[in-house]
Amino acid sequence: MSTLKKVFWGALLVKLVLAAFLPLTNDEAYYWVWSQHLQLSYYDHPPFVAWLYYAGDAFRFFPGSVRWPGVLLAHASLGIWLLLLKPYLDERQRLYWLLLAVLSPLVGGSAIVVTPDVPLMFFYALSLWMFFMWRSKPEWKLSLAFGVSMGLGFSSKYMMVLFVISLLPLVTMDRRLRINFVRSLPWLLLGAIAGTLPVWLWNYMHDFASLKFQAAHGLGRKFWKPSWTYEYIGLQIALVFPVILYWALRAGRQMPRVFHFLAWVPLLFFLFTTSRGYVEANWPIAAYPAIFALAVSSLPLNTRSLRFTLAVWATLLTLLAGVVLLQPTWAKPLKFREFSQFDPIIVKAREVTPLYARSYQMASKLSFEMGRPIYKLRGMNRKDFYDFLEQSMPQEALYYIAAQKDDRLPKEFIERGDQVTEKVPIDGDFELWKVERKP
């Protein structure tokens, strides 16, 4: 067995083991809750990640093994990329590409923490593979399959539109591609509609609430904070890593133009959107595999800078996994706290029923850890999936809320006569509220 194959299968084994024992993040627990309430789509994101967790419930042998279908899909993305790169990179170059993808804090980490990025990355890779096949033989079957793949990518995360945007310049500049695109357009559209149908149906039935939310989330500000742009640039340089970014920018024509467009269009798109809102660090993640491919195609493989990059990333991922698994006291006030921040509430939550939570993160984490449904109280914090559930509106005359000290009962509950009659402090800023409805 070649070194490339050993690394590929060895990495999969390590990821399955880590995924099984790493506690779920709050967002992962939220997506798991979606899988317990299957819908055509959801307010926050399209449905594919919920389908992965629905399948994952059959593998819940360990705390995090519900991730396994997602981990397998993420690793399949790497397999597709290795096949795509075979005509352009030799085996040693593809080995270094694989190491970059596996050890990258963002790409490698997202292959263990299952979020909508996982199916997005898979269908990005699959759609690129379908594009190459369609370009060589633009018959109706391949056109339809290409459209379905892009549609399912959109049913994974709305960022899939960047794949289409990235291909448009290539199609526009190439006369043969342009002609084939026009001829294939009906089949491409039919496939895309089929792949995105659940999302469109849900949005139609809910006044396009999800699309409006995402548009406002990324482009809804009417002012610009320079820190949005500076932070975005700094984070992307750090996450891609200066060495990799430098050699990717130096990549020449030995790689097809499509890789260049897939690498830089998402980064430039989100750079532009920083003028209208804050951009999360992971939003351009789909560009990273193409960036790694460009870098590997141009950098000298015996360079110390490449080995240094891999060593830094390997050390960082090892430390992160250790901190999450061991949960040292010093890490709890940091970002790592979300793995255990609601643990003090669980002790109190087992003693009371019915219990509601202040946020979707809390409700989801409690539901997963306690093995019984806990719903966010409708109207507390930002609008989310729970606000569309009837169960988020208590009908009982007496119920409890896990809240924070500065929280307030939503206005609609005050108006119907609900009153907080007791507040019991819990560790940190949390409180357990006893709420009664006065006749």
Per-residue pLDDT of the chain (439 residues; tens, 9 = 90+): 799 999 999 999 999 999 999 889 999 999 999 999 999 999 999 999 999 999 999 998 888 999 999 999 999 999 999 999 999 999 999 999 999 999 998 898 888 999 999 999 999 999 999 999 999 999 999 999 999 999 999 999 999 999 999 999 999 998 999 999 999 999 999 999 999 999 999 999 999 999 888 887 766 677 788 889 999 999 999 999 999 999 999 997 889 999 999 999 999 999 999 988 888 889 999 999 999 999 999 988 667 888 888 888 888 888 877 777 666 665 555 556 667 788 889 888 888 899 999 999 999 999 999 989 999 999 999 999 999 999 999 999 999 999 998 899 999 999 889 999 999 999 878 999 999 987 6
Distance CA 334, CA 332 (A): 5
> Within this chain, do residues 350 and 410 fall inside the same structural domain, yes or no?
yes
- 204 lies in some domain: no
Domain total for the chain? 2
The pLDDT of residue 63 is 84
Burial of 177 (0-12, 13-18, 19+ CB in 10 A): middle
Q: Which domain holds residue 231?
A: 220-301
- A 10 A CB-CB count for 106 gives 19
Do residues 347 and 294 share a domain? no
Residue 261 included in any domain: yes
Q: 333 lies in a domain?
A: no
**Final residue belonging to a domain, choices 240, 269, 301:** 301
Please report whether residue 237 resides in a domain.
yes
Last-in-domain residue among 301, 320, 353: 301
CA distances from 21 to 12, 60, 324, 342 (A): 15, 11, 10, 18
pTM for the predicted model, two decimal places: 0.93
Residue 420 maps to a domain: yes
Does a structural domain hold residue 255?
A: yes
Question: Is there a contact between 112 and 66 (Cβ–Cβ < 8 Å)?
Answer: no
pLDDT at position 407, please? 92
Residues 350 and 423 occupy one common structural domain: yes
**Tens-place pLDDT, residues 64-85:** 999 999 999 999 999 999 999 9
Whether 54 is covered by a domain: the verdict is no
355 and 426 assigned to the same domain: yes
Is there a domain that residue 110 lies in?
no
Statement to judge: residues 235 and 289 lie in one domain:
yes
